[in-house]
Amino acid sequence: MKEACICLSLIILSYLFYKYYLVTLGKMYALGSTIHHATIVDDKMRVVVVDVWDATARVPVPTQEVKIVGQAPGNFILWPVILAKVIAKEVIVLTF
C-alpha cells in the first residue's frame, strides 16, 4: 500500500530577549492530529529536528524526554507555528 505524505522543511526559531534567532533546521510531517496521545492544537506543529544550531536552546513545548534542542533529534516534538518558517515543500510516498 502507498500513501503520500507532505513534508515541509523548516527553519525553526526561538525567541529570547525580544529577538528571534535560529536554533535548528527541521521537518514537519502531516501525519495526523495527535502526538504522544494528545491533540495538536492549531498554533502548534509536529516537527523533527534535523540539524541542531543551538543545542542549549529551550524547546518551547518541552516533554519529559526533550527539554532542550540538543535532546530533540530523532523525536517528534511540538513547536509553535509562529516560530517556524517553511523553506521547502516535498511530497513523500510511504510504502507499507
Write out pLDDT tens, residues 25-59. Answer: 888 877 778 877 788 888 988 888 888 988 998 89
* Full residue range of the structural domain in which residue 22 is found: 2-95
Which residues contact residue 36 at a Cβ distance below 8 angstroms, ignoring those fewer than 6 apart? 63, 76
CA-to-CA separations, 45 to 18, 19, 69, 77, 85, in angstroms, rounded: 22, 21, 16, 8, 12
Q: What is the pLDDT of residue 96?
A: 62
Domain count for the chain, please give it: 1
CA–centroid distance for 75 within its chain = 9
Q: What is the pLDDT of residue 27?
A: 84
To the nearest whole number, what is the mean pLDDT of the chain?
A: 80
Which residues contact residue 82 at a Cβ distance below 8 angstroms, ignoring those fewer than 6 apart? 43
